[in-house]
Amino acid sequence: MKKRWVQAKKANIEITTLLAQKLNIDKSLAEVLAERGISTFEDARAYFRPEMAKLHDPFLMKDMQQAISRIDVALSNKEKILIYGDYDVDGTTSVALAYSFFSQFTSEIKYYIPDRHKEGYGISTAGIDYAKANGFSLIIALDCGIKSNDKIDYANSLNIDFIICDHHLPGNELPAAVAILDPKRADCNYPFKELAGCGIGFKLAQAYCLTHQLPQEQYERYIDLVMVSIAADIVPIDDENRILAYHGLIKLNNSPCRGLKALMDIAGKDKDYTLTDVVFSLAPRINAAGRMDHANEAVKMLLCTEEDLAQQQSLFINFQNTERKTSDQNITAEALSLIGECEILINKSTTVVYHESWNKGVIGIVASRLTEKYYRPTVVLTKSNGLLTGSARSVAGFDLYEALLSCEDLLEQFGGHKFAAGLTIKPENIVSFSDRFEEVVKASIHEDHLCPEIRIDNEIQLTQINGKFQRIIAQMAPFGPHNTAPIFVSNDVTLVGRPYVVGTKHLKLTIKQQNSPIFECIGFGMAEEYEQLLQPNQPFSVCYTIEENVWKGQKRLQLNIKGIELD
């Protein structure tokens, strides 16, 4: 698919020059830093060396004191506490963190994750009934609950209190919970709004330790779980998330919890994890438990304290992930076939597809794959408990949540954020919803949003690239939204030799630019598009990230190609 190359806005020259001098780095790198809001040496130090001490005071979060006070009462009175969470990676890591942390102070505690297939997303009536039947008087809900007003009312009628720890957008009216920890609520002045659900649980544990003058290690030991949730939920990697992800990766690569260590062993890599590795290697395996069966299995693995049990549980999780791959590949093929057979679907600004037999647990992945294929807002639906339930995905720059809000009268429930959401709809409303969703998106989406873009940080000469240049870039990690790996463009490059295909679809080539060194390049998934177009001595432009490739113990710089334009 053709992509737009968009050059980043040039930073202030004075700031760039000062940064280059103060940091003793290439001016092109100083420009990249300045474009990301770094303007002083102190900014750069905080960016390159994130400190746990810079985390915000958890009591700046609205209702934090109420939450801690209610937990103190529960612990003093030996009340039974239920830790309740969503079935995805953010939810299961949140539950593992909160359950493990508060288990230090009480034995009257259990956890509960709703069955995706039977109960659906969020707080369920079945979960509240379980709490009542088993004598729980306090439920701490993580990564869900912010729009569960009716369920919280039901719990209140049974004398069960709720503390909600969520990071999703609230509705017009907040639930009647004892405390609601959510930086996105309108009356919350917490300085950072983009914590993951597990991050909210981490702040709750931090607040408890501060209140009771407990050592930082009591909550910081869970930072690898927080990092995994940050990676999986694709939240912005700035402010607190950058600090937590940075230190979480250090812990993952040196002393991970036993469950994660066992999963890393099965994944075939036991060190040097990046946030990207977590996204593509660990997160899908953890997610597979809730997609294929029950997310309790993921929590069990994350809570393992014995190596043998951790290995057994991670093997089971890995088996479920293998099943998940087969399922989502089959459903994706069916969905592509449906779209291909219906010409009207191909020419729309949205994709809405439905089949009653599709596995509810993998339709989110299918929605992501269809979005990659057609690059437009996408909804994939299946049948569940007499209703249609689905997952929605957006494209960069388009607010999916606002579009669904415009269709609210046709939905039974929905929740999420700008880029991803879940929804439930009555079968008789699917045609009306599909038409309305198309109408809303078509009227509000910009044409550029329907074409993926490559955001280029700077133009450089290949002669600028050396070991020091790459080491500075490596220190800019962890990479993710709001802090992506820098993409550079170099013009008038030529081939050295012929390009060739690696595997079935990856393009391998070697390039040079005037008197520059020769650089090996890899273009993932680009073989079919460019292999026949590139000719010797023909100049072209290339945009890329710079990485260190390790092969048979040898390290060398490699360019990871993101796009090619022929001159």
Given a contact cutoff of 8 angstroms between Cβ atoms, the answer to whether 238 and 482 are in contact is yes
- For 219, residues 6+ apart whose C-beta sits below 8 A from its C-beta are 101, 202, 205, 206, 208, 209
Given a contact cutoff of 8 angstroms between Cβ atoms, the answer to whether 454 and 219 are in contact is no
- Rounded CA separation 559/488 (Å): 10
Architecture of 58-317 per CATH?
Alpha-Beta Complex (3.90)
CATH no., domain 342-450: 3.10.310.30
Residue 343 is predicted with a pLDDT of 57
End-to-end CA distance of the chain: 19
List where CATH 3.90.1640.30 sits in the chain.
58-317
Q: Where are the alpha helices (DSSP H) in 77-196?
A: 89-102, 125-133, 149-157
Residue 340 is predicted with a pLDDT of 79
Of 296, 300, 252, nearest in space to 273 by CA: 252
List where CATH 3.10.310.30 sits in the chain.
342-450
The neighbouring-strand residues paired with 391 are 380, 422
- Rounded CA separation 473/466 (Å): 11
Output the pTM of the full model: 0.92
- Rounded CA separation 461/91 (Å): 45
List where CATH 2.40.50.460 sits in the chain.
454-567
Per-residue pLDDT of the chain (567 residues; tens, 9 = 90+): 678 999 988 889 999 999 999 999 999 999 999 999 999 999 999 999 999 999 999 999 999 999 999 999 999 999 999 999 999 999 999 999 999 999 999 999 999 999 988 888 889 999 999 999 999 999 999 999 999 999 999 999 999 999 999 999 898 999 999 999 999 999 999 999 999 999 999 999 999 999 999 999 999 999 999 999 999 998 999 999 999 999 999 999 999 999 999 999 999 887 899 999 999 999 999 999 999 999 999 999 999 999 999 999 999 999 999 999 999 999 999 999 988 776 555 678 999 999 999 999 999 999 999 999 999 999 999 998 899 999 999 998 899 999 999 999 999 988 888 888 999 999 999 999 999 999 999 999 998 888 999 999 999 999 999 999 999 999 999 999 999 999 999 999 999 998 888 888 899 999 999 889 999 999 998 887 776 678 888 999 999 999 988 777 788 899 999 999 987
CATH no., domain 454-567: 2.40.50.460
